[in-house]
Structure 1
Amino acid sequence: MTDVPHGEGLSRLLDPLARTAYRSAYALARVYWFVRRPQTRGVFVGVWHAGRVLLLQNSYKHKLSMPGGGYHRGESAPECGARELREEVGVHMAPAVLRTVFETVGSEENKDDHVTFVEVDVDAEPVLTIDRREVTWAAFIDLDTALRLNLSSLVRAYLEDAKHRRG
């Protein structure tokens, strides 16, 4: 029998339950959004290293995305982006280094999703820490490969814009 540290063994049991909870909550949110058609505001963060961009897979979505989420009361786009980076992939970054570069509106999830993209170029690839619950995978991918992947429409719009801006 292989020894598994107590916390790791418990995590192996809880992770699938947490992923199921995320999928269930997301499904309920999609029904609510379908009925109400709300306007939402959110931020995505483009983290770039050596021509590659950070993408991630949320446990409750089929398409690849980027670190991001909705604003908390009183947050600026860079503050929201810095918080989401920390929460989703364990990367600590000062809001001041995140620059606003792109805005778009999407309706892929039955809501008018007003999204601001902030981005940063880093000299060294940061160590990523994912929880295997909300985020199940994250990696830096070169831009051309990323554009061939199954991306959310909002992330695709940003990456297409980035391809033109970044040359």
Structure 2
Amino acid sequence: MTSSGRPTALRLLRLAAYRSFYRLPFTWRKRLVRMGSTQYVIGAVTIVRDADADPPGRILLLRQPPGPGWSIPGGILNRGEHPAAGAARELAEETGIRVEPARLRPGVPNAIVHTGGRWVDMVFEVSVPADDALTIDEAEVHEAAWYPLDALPRLTRPTARLLAHYDIGPLAGQAEDD
């Protein structure tokens, strides 16, 4: 408002825009909001630890296409899927390891926001015996192996950055916002 108490042109324009927006049908308003909002892809990953290993322990890593580095099991959640259920599903699909979603412990932190890539990983942890047979999906996974925490192979950059949040891998202690 101006000092005389009258609305400014900008304020009137803004008021007209809001009134027009709220006259639109709900489905159109929802679409407009979604078009203007930042969108993130939501994934779920699992840090799988060897239940029988002595410290420093071992974790399960996968070599997947297209890159040469190693990563942890995970994937994109289906619409409406609970993160723990998605993590359990991806773990079973990629490795043959079947666990109930309730057995997955939320990582601390549980969500890693990768702002540069505009995706969020929900992180879970589980311990399973390494001598259980792995059944890899050869379409998604070239190789799966257990690695000691102090002798990890070359990791993919996103995996190294994610594991750094848990003080694992070459970037341990260097976790920062992605």
Q: Matches of 1:161 and 1:60 in 2, distance apart?
A: 24
Unaligned runs of at least 5 residues, structure 1? 1-36
Q: Matches of 1:150 and 1:107 in 2, distance apart?
A: 23
Q: Matches of 1:150 and 1:124 in 2, distance apart?
A: 21
TM-score by length of 2: 0.62
1:1-167 to structure 2, matched below 5 A, reads: 39-49=40-50, 50=53, 51-101=57-107, 102=109, 103-106=111-114, 111-146=117-152, 149-163=153-167
Shift of the alpha carbon at 1:128? Answer: 0.8
Q: Matches of 1:131 and 1:78 in 2, distance apart?
A: 20
Please provide the CA RMSD for this pair.
Answer: 2.1
Q: Which has the larger radius of gyration?
A: 2
Contact 2:130 2:146 in 1 (8 A): no
Unaligned runs of at least 5 residues, structure 2? 1-37, 169-178
Say which SS state the counterpart of residue 162 (structure 1) adopts.
coil
Larger deviation: 71-80 or 155-164?
155-164
Aligned partner letter, 1:154: P
Of structures 1 and 2, the one scoring higher in RCO (CA 8 A, sep 6+) is 1
Aligned partner letter, 1:131: D
- The 1:157–1:73 alpha-carbon spacing in structure 2 relative to 1, beyond 3 Å, is same
Contact 1:106 1:153 in 2 (8 A): no
Q: Matches of 2:44 and 2:137 in 1, distance apart?
A: 20
Q: Deviations over 1:27-59 (max 9, x none)?
A: xxxxxxxxxx95211011111012100100112
Contact 1:143 1:163 in 2 (8 A): no
Identity %: 35
Aligned partner letter, 2:148: D
Q: Matches of 2:115 and 2:138 in 1, distance apart?
A: 27
Q: Matches of 1:41 and 1:154 in 2, distance apart?
A: 14
Give the length in aligned residue pairs: 124
TM-score by length of 1: 0.66
Aligned partner letter, 1:156: A
